[in-house]
């Protein structure tokens, strides 16, 4: 007897259709709230401390050590030891950041062109090895003699120098700084390649997280980077604390020893990139199709407004004056060790702020955060700056201490824009889009520097004038610091609920 095939199915069954309550509803498939809490891709929240992912964390730690050291060398080494001009040190701060403008370019390479089938790990390894070589050359190259044979000559007006004192001046010292600046630039270029590839992995981590905790992995990466930057601040501050570097100790580690530590950090990052980052092989993408999709994404209003906001925000917030480093050394008399202590405290405050954001602030209103934080930066910074300019109270801790409070609003305002980036990234272009958004900050830096250097060129704020320290010079400096606050056009933000809200950006320059 034949078995009926209809016995197992109800006779009144109807074709299943999509409905608001159906588990096959498109929106539920697109963002499966019930299953994964609103995660943007499957896989579940990542454990960033596991063997398969901890290599990314190690890379961010190495970045904190090396970046902090490279930028930290500008004041004690380039400004105090070699006595490069204020314009030169201001240019150095910008030039060493220039390689980060290639972050999107390296992100595109990582997204489109796998090496041996891997999109991320080979680029990480190549980048870190290149950085290791550049840092090793900084160990090998000699720093030469300091500009002043007697460090006390830095506080003597040039017109009052005797012939014997002039003989103690090494006029060739500033030229030595050029090769070190170039090596720092190329070291940053290697790190840019490595971190651009890491960006893609971090975004994948973030999009696997439920909506309530989305951004936790990204935030913890930044926390670890800040914690490791404490090591770089300690090395620069305590290691370059001799009299030749503008401090009071009798000896110092020297630039070569500090560069050796950075070399070791880069080498460790290179090894961990290959052995402690899990990745599956993928086929190369069509470059033409990829760029077409990327171009379509950039044309979305939420994307180009986020790009515009970050660019103009950093153009104005990075405004400064070329005399900042000379003011630190000549008027505030900041010693490298105390600047290092300040940097350590700043890193701690920044790390704590990031952790608080991760713990409590992932769902805060981004518009309110940006407005409040920028107003806070201007308010806090104006007092120590103008007290120092007008000699109301000059102390290195007056110069260094109060601005530490800026780390809280400054850190928060930067991280919230990265949260917005997580929401707009699509599968397959993670590294490029994150690189594009973060590159806005790097591109803004030279624009900002060109603007304030051109403005500063019309004022008498060079080292020779600062050594005179009269009312005329103080007026010149104070006038330059008057353009510290700007209004930026209203932008919009992107939230995970696909809603747009206005955000008012007040970009302000730390004085």
Read off the CATH number of the domain in which 326 is found.
1.20.1250.20
Query: Which CA distances in Å does 331 have to 374, 385, 398, 511?
Result: 27, 11, 11, 15
Number of domains in the chain: 1
Residue 299, domain member (yes or no): yes
How far apart are alpha carbons 32 and 285 in whole angstroms? Answer: 27
Angle at 279 between CA 277 and CA 285, to 5 degrees: 135
Encode pLDDT of 27-81 as tens digits. 443 444 444 667 777 778 888 888 888 999 999 999 999 998 998 888 888 888 8
Which of 9-23, 172-186, 251-265, 458-472 is predicted with the least confidence, judged by mean pLDDT?
A: 9-23
Residue 429, domain member (yes or no): yes
How far apart are alpha carbons 193 and 212 in whole angstroms? Answer: 31
What is the predicted pLDDT for the residue at 36? Answer: 61
Residue 211, domain member (yes or no): yes
More confident residue, 370 or 129: 129
- pLDDT category at 267 given cuts 50, 70, 90 is very high
How far apart are alpha carbons 210 and 46 in whole angstroms? Answer: 11
Residue 28, domain member (yes or no): no
More confident residue, 436 or 336: 436
Other CB atoms within a 10 A radius of the CB of residue 371 amount to 16
- 227 in Cβ contact with 316 (< 8 Å): no
Residue 148, domain member (yes or no): yes
More confident residue, 123 or 160: 123
Which of 184-193, 195-204, 397-406, 471-480 is predicted with the least confidence, judged by mean pLDDT?
A: 397-406
Residue 21, domain member (yes or no): no
Angle at 370 between CA 72 and CA 323, to 5 degrees: 35
Residue 261, domain member (yes or no): yes
How far apart are alpha carbons 422 and 435 in whole angstroms? Answer: 12
Name, of 63-72, 325-334, 335-344, the range with top average pLDDT: 63-72
Paired tokens of 235: 């090395």
Mean pLDDT of the chain: 79
Paired tokens of 144: 């030469």
How far apart are alpha carbons 67 and 194 in whole angstroms? Answer: 13
Mutual orientation of helices 173-207 and 54-72 as an angle, nearest 10°? 150
Q: Is residue 486 within a helix (H) or strand (E), and if so which, with residue range?
A: strand 485-487
Paired tokens of 396: 């290195």
How far apart are alpha carbons 262 and 29 in whole angstroms? Answer: 47
Other CB atoms within a 10 A radius of the CB of residue 14 amount to 6
Sign of the torsion formed by the C-alpha atoms of 442, 46, 280 and 57? positive
Query: Which CA distances in Å does 319 have to 67, 262, 314, 448?
Result: 21, 29, 8, 6
Query: Which CA distances in Å does 105 have to 138, 196, 308?
Result: 27, 9, 19
Name the phi and psi angles at 487, rounded to 5. -95, 135
Encode pLDDT of 137-168 as tens digits. 999 998 888 888 777 777 777 777 777 878 77
Paired tokens of 138: 């900084």
Other CB atoms within a 10 A radius of the CB of residue 489 amount to 10
What is the predicted pLDDT for the residue at 505? Answer: 32
Token look-up 């490791």 returns 228
pLDDT at 180 over 90: yes
Residue 495, domain member (yes or no): yes
pTM of the entire predicted model:
0.74
Domain that holds residue 183: 46-276+284-508
């Amino acid at each position: 007897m034949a078995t009926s095939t209809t016995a197992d199915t109800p006779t009144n069954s109807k074709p299943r259709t999509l409905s608001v309550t159906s588990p096959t509803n498109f929106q539920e498939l697109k963002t499966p709230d019930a299953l994964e809490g609103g995660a943007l891709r499957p896989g579940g929240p990542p454990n960033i401390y596991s063997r398969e992912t901890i290599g990314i964390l190690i890379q961010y730690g190495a970045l904190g050590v090396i970046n902090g050291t490279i930028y930290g060398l500008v004041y004690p080494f380039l400004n105090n030891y070699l006595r490069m001009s204020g314009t030169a040190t201001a240019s150095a701060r910008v030039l060493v950041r220039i390689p980060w403008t290639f972050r999107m370019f390296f992100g595109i390479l990582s997204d489109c062109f796998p090496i041996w089938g891997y999109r991320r790990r080979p680029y990480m390894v190549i980048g870190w090895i290149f950085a290791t070589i550049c840092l090793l050359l900084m160990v090998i190259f000699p720093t030469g003699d300091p500009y002043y044979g007697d460090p006390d000559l830095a506080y003597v007006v040039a017109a009052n120098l005797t012939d014997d004192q002039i003989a103690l001046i090494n006029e060739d010292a500033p030229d030595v700084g050029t090769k070190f600046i170039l090596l720092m630039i190329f070291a940053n270029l290697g790190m840019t390649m490595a971190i651009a590839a890491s960006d893609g992995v971090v975004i994948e981590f973030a999009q696997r997280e439920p909506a309530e905790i989305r951004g936790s992995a990204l935030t913890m990466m930044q926390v670890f980077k800040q914690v490791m930057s404490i090591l770089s601040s300690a090395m620069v501050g305590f290691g370059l604390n001799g009299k030749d570097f503008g401090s009071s100790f009798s000896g110092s580690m020297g630039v070569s020893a500090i560069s050796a530590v950075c070399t070791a950090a880069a080498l460790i990052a290179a090894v961990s990139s290959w052995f402690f980052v899990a990745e599956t092989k993928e086929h190369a993408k069509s470059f033409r199709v990829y760029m077409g999709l990327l171009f379509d994404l950039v044309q979305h209003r939420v994307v180009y407004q986020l790009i515009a906001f970050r660019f103009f925000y950093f153009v104005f917030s990075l405004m400064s004056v070329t005399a900042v480093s000379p003011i630190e050394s000549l008027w505030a008399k900041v010693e490298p060790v105390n600047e290092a202590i300040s940097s350590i405290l700043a890193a701690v405050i920044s790390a704590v702020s990031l952790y608080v954001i991760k713990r409590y602030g992932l769902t805060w209103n981004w518009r309110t955060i940006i407005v409040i934080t920028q107003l806070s930066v201007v308010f806090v910074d104006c007092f120590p700056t103008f007290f120092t300019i007008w000699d109301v109270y000059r102390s290195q801790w007056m110069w260094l201490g109060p601005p530490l409070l800026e780390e809280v609003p400054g850190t928060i305002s930067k991280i919230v824009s990265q949260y917005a980036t997580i929401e707009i990234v699509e599968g397959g272009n993670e590294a490029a889009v994150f690189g594009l958004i973060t590159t806005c900050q790097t591109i803004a830096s030279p624009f900002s520097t060109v603007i304030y250097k051109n403005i500063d060129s019309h004022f008498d704020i060079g080292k020779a004038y600062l050594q005179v320290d009269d009312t005329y010079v103080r007026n010149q400096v104070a006038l330059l610091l008057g353009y510290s606050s700007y209004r930026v056009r209203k932008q919009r933000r992107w939230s995970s609920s696909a809603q747009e809200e206005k955000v008012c950006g007040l970009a302000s320059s730390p004085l």
